[in-house]
Structure 1
Amino acid sequence: MNLSDTIIAPATAVGEGGIAVVRISGPRALDSLKKYFRPTTHNIKFSSQRLYHGTLVDQDEQHIDEIMAVYMSAPHTYTCDDVVEIHCHGSQQVVKSILNLYFDYGLRLADAGEFTYRAFANGRLDLSQAEAVARLIHAKTDSSRKLALSQVEGQLSRCIDDFTERLRKIQILVEAWIDFPEEELPREDLEHIERTVSSVIEEINTLIDTFNSGKVLADGASILLVGRPNAGKSSLLNKLLGEERAIVTDIPGTTRDLLEEGITLAGVPVRLVDTAGLRQSDDPVEMEGVKRAIDKIGHADLVLLLIDGSKEVDDQDIYSYRSCETAPTFVVETKSDLEKIADLSFVTHPLYSISIKTGEGLDELKEAIGEYLLGDYIAANESVMLSEQRHYDSLVSTLKNLQNVLIALCEGQSLEFIAFDIRDSLQYLGQISGETTTDSVLSGIFSQFCIGK
């Protein structure tokens, strides 16, 4: 990306609407506005952060649209460059005409994520904040919005900065003593290094422990409904969705393929997956459905194993149970409104009883699902949370190097080894903030953004 170019892109989504916004950023932003904007009030002097009404015209002074325009002067803008926004009618033809007008004037269409990349390159955001901008745009629930917004506002960044500052002070201390090999590091300095590193390790472990809940909040969870035929899987799916999405009959084997639907459950975007009944069958189509269901079990965030409580447990129930033994599983005893016949004393997973017909037990099941998926978040929803795999991997690597520092201190190893591990720790922390991130990683991150952001 050439950061000296003046770039342009629509900032609003493609489609018709009341208003569309076209954003311009770069050194020619204000000149670009003045070139084709005819304000209602003549001879105005543009002030920053003020809206102006007028008409946008083309090279022949033909009207393109009646608009509101705002000029924002650097560095107090999203990109820290001069920015202009053109608020026009939400017609895609109007937006296209405005873009073509400024392409002819020499402006360049922004690359994916280029506005946010400029905010990062100009120091307004660090890399973790920039990534959170994309998370905020794609947030599907209020919980995921709050998590992304906390990271945009710098909650994670401040935590990483704190780790970095403390470790850099230790690095300076260690490297200063390396320059005096004839002298030993004083005992009080060794103890200070150990205390600081141990404290950072403890805080990083706490942060790492939030990753599963944070990822579920940001990306959603996959919940698999399994069990023998006619255990109530499709009925439960329909009940949770609030609509008749899956076909429900008394005929075993009605559901033969995976049926996937999205809902919000306990504030989490959830993919509910209804599966074929788990049983042995001579029907090749049904057996393919069973195979797909079993394959999915190992990848689900949570499995709901349904067992009909009004019938005796049979080989199909045992087969289903064994298929889920190593997966995170809730056993759901269905048809609690009927006489209980099933003996579920063999169950070691959490067990819940429900009735699709009366709704009994459904609220308790939903609450249990929420607590399982968001345990860390519910316990401390104001704390910093991880949601990016990249951040998690970097912190795990940081942790390993800091643990090596403690080992080196314990064994009385050379200060050079300690300094080496601290430098590596800072390198990994820098990958989160963007200080040490490679260009290829940066390109991969910003390529996932939309053009106008």
Structure 2
Amino acid sequence: MIYIDDTITAIATAPGEAGIGIVRISGEKALIITDEIFESKQGKKLSDYPVRRMTYGYIIDPDRNEKIDEVLVYYTKGPYTYTKEDVVEINCHGGVIPVKKILELVLRKGARAAEPGEFTKRAFLNGRIDLAQAEAVMDLISAKTDKGFDVALDQLEGALSKKVSVTRQKLMDMLAHIEVSIDFSEEDIDEVTLDYLLHKSKEVEKDIEVLLKTADTGKILREGLSTVIVGKPNVGKSSLLNALLRESRAIVTEVPGTTRDVIEEHLNIRGIPLKIIDTAGIRETEDIVEKIGVEKSKEFFNKADLIIFMLDISTKLTKEDLQILELIENKKALILMNKTDLPQKADLDKAKELIKNKKIIKISLIEEKGLEEVEEAIEELVYKGEIKAKDRLLVTNVRHKNSLERALQSMKEGTEAIEKKMPLDFVEVDVKNTWEALGEITGDTVAEDIIDHIFKNFCIGK
């Protein structure tokens, strides 16, 4: 445990009116400070009561001898706390004024205002959790779906950390063999040692590759799938958005160009968070307002993870349709052929070359047909290859992915060096680089400035 001599405090609940507000204090003076400002119903201090007990009483400003609020106070002694330090939590009435007054009083009595994520940072520095688990705390808080929550919970419980630790142990075994071989460098390196190192290096490569394969899916579950609905005006884009949302969010009329700006919504499709955007129809227009909407549509189109392109099968293909088809040729896209309840007039021969590698789904939003297939197709795009919807060990963090990529590159270089029977000093460098890159995930080898940056993205009070 790292010794930290100051005591921190923050409001641990969201701002605004609520039933309860919590002021959290952590550090060696947590109980001393609370004893100065808390008095139980029986007129006792908090230290007069056993630990891990909720005590009823009042927060009192001793300098003015006035009651601030009626509270329940909970004290737990370290190391059996979130931060592994002494922790006091003051449960007061929710709302801006009660928590603000209590926080100001605690600060006046000697605590320091906590920085964003500092409670979790202390949990990391004091060895209660590693860096991957600390990052999972924020993933848990910001989870948009049950699936994202489950993955974050597994990471908080150490699923990713354990996998990384097992792989790092294999690398330590390799380094031990290399050290022994270098110590006896006057003798030739025997084939048994080389075979062992080669076997281990390929094993480590496979471990890392398995994790990397989950990164794209994990990122989507953490951040959401940025999805843009595109098509010419009046093709049914807003109707699709309303159908997926199960509510009338976008205006639907027969007048082309009704949607003049982008409409952004968040929804959950089979555990996958989607940030879905209904764009203005992409077409040539003289209307200055619609023109701005079309330009915005193109901007979102270029940044999207997934394009849902809608065609009106009841009308002939237009120049705009073909232009959009060309734009999505190298993009991840679904093509929805809407209005199948009407006679088909679209000549798809022109479009066949452009849509040959895309998933095509025929739908009728009027008859509510095809939506199930659309949801299935989105699920298939996210959970591809060996990644299944039931999998819970997924790499969700870009920082982790970058570390894994560097680790894999170093290991491949090490494998190549072993295969070429290069001096073991060369192999040792590659193995150490792999070991260090993996250590960045759990925080064992990460730089201090990176640690500070990670916790700055946390909310205050966590």
- Calculate the TM-score normalised by the size of structure 2: 0.93
Q: Does 1:417 align with 2:426?
A: yes
Distance verdict in 2 for CA 1:241–1:380, change over 3 Å: closer
Matched to 1:436, the amino acid is T
Structure 2: distance between partners of 1:343 and 1:124: 64
What is the DSSP-based 3-state SS (H/G/I as helix, E as strand, rest coil) of the residue aligned with 2:303? coil
Q: Does 1:127 align with 2:126?
A: no
- Cα pair 2:305 2:332 within 8 Å, conserved: yes
1:247 is displaced (CA, Å) by: 2.6
Matched to 2:101, the amino acid is S
Moved more, 98-107 or 39-48: 39-48
Distance verdict in 2 for CA 1:86–1:231, change over 3 Å: same
Deviations 1:305-361 (A, max 9, x none): 101111222322212211211111111010122223324351311111111111111
What is the DSSP-based 3-state SS (H/G/I as helix, E as strand, rest coil) of the residue aligned with 1:63? strand
- Cα pair 2:150 2:392 within 8 Å, conserved: no
Q: Does 1:224 align with 2:233?
A: no
What is the DSSP-based 3-state SS (H/G/I as helix, E as strand, rest coil) of the residue aligned with 2:436? helix
Moved more, 75-84 or 226-235: 226-235
Structure 2: distance between partners of 1:9 and 1:201: 44
Moved more, 19-28 or 293-302: 293-302
Structure 2: distance between partners of 1:146 and 1:377: 19
What's 1:402 paired with?
411
Structure 1 segment 312-327 matched on structure 2, within 5 A = 312-327=316-331
Q: Does 1:374 align with 2:374?
A: no
What is the DSSP-based 3-state SS (H/G/I as helix, E as strand, rest coil) of the residue aligned with 1:367? helix
Match of 2:345 among 331, 338, 341: 341
1:41 is displaced (CA, Å) by: 4.2
Match of 2:158 among 154, 158, 182: 154
Matched to 1:323, the amino acid is L
1:363 is displaced (CA, Å) by: 1.5
What's 2:458 paired with?
449
Matched to 1:37, the amino acid is F
What's 2:435 paired with?
426
Structure 2: distance between partners of 1:306 and 1:201: 42
What's 1:32 paired with?
33
1:450 is displaced (CA, Å) by: 1.1
Moved more, 187-196 or 130-139: 187-196
What is the DSSP-based 3-state SS (H/G/I as helix, E as strand, rest coil) of the residue aligned with 2:150? helix
Q: Does 1:52 align with 2:52?
A: no
What's 1:299 paired with?
303
Structure 1 segment 10-409 matched on structure 2, within 5 A = 10-41=11-42, 45-59=48-62, 60-345=64-349, 346=352, 347-348=355-356, 349-375=358-384, 379=388, 381-409=390-418
Moved more, 351-360 or 47-56: 47-56
Deviations 1:72-115 (A, max 9, x none): 11111000001111111113211111111111111111111110
- Cα pair 1:46 1:71 within 8 Å, conserved: no
Any gaps of 5 or more consecutive residues in structure 1?
none
Structure 1: distance between partners of 2:227 and 2:374: 13
Structure 2: distance between partners of 1:411 and 1:378: 34
Moved more, 287-296 or 92-101: 287-296
What is the DSSP-based 3-state SS (H/G/I as helix, E as strand, rest coil) of the residue aligned with 1:17? coil
1:53 is displaced (CA, Å) by: 1.4
RMSD: 1.9
- Cα pair 2:56 2:72 within 8 Å, conserved: yes
Moved more, 253-262 or 156-165: 253-262
1:288 is displaced (CA, Å) by: 4.1
Any gaps of 5 or more consecutive residues in structure 2?
none
Moved more, 10-19 or 366-375: 366-375
- Cα pair 1:294 1:323 within 8 Å, conserved: no
Structure 1: distance between partners of 2:400 and 2:374: 32
Structure 1: distance between partners of 2:187 and 2:50: 63
What's 1:435 paired with?
444
Structure 1: distance between partners of 2:315 and 2:198: 61
Matched to 2:253, the amino acid is T
Deviations 1:196-218 (A, max 9, x none): 11111112111101011101101
Deviations 1:114-150 (A, max 9, x none): 1000000000111111111111111121111111111
- Cα pair 1:194 1:409 within 8 Å, conserved: yes
- Cα pair 1:275 1:289 within 8 Å, conserved: yes
- Cα pair 1:298 1:327 within 8 Å, conserved: no
Moved more, 272-281 or 146-155: 272-281
- Calculate the TM-score normalised by the size of structure 1: 0.95
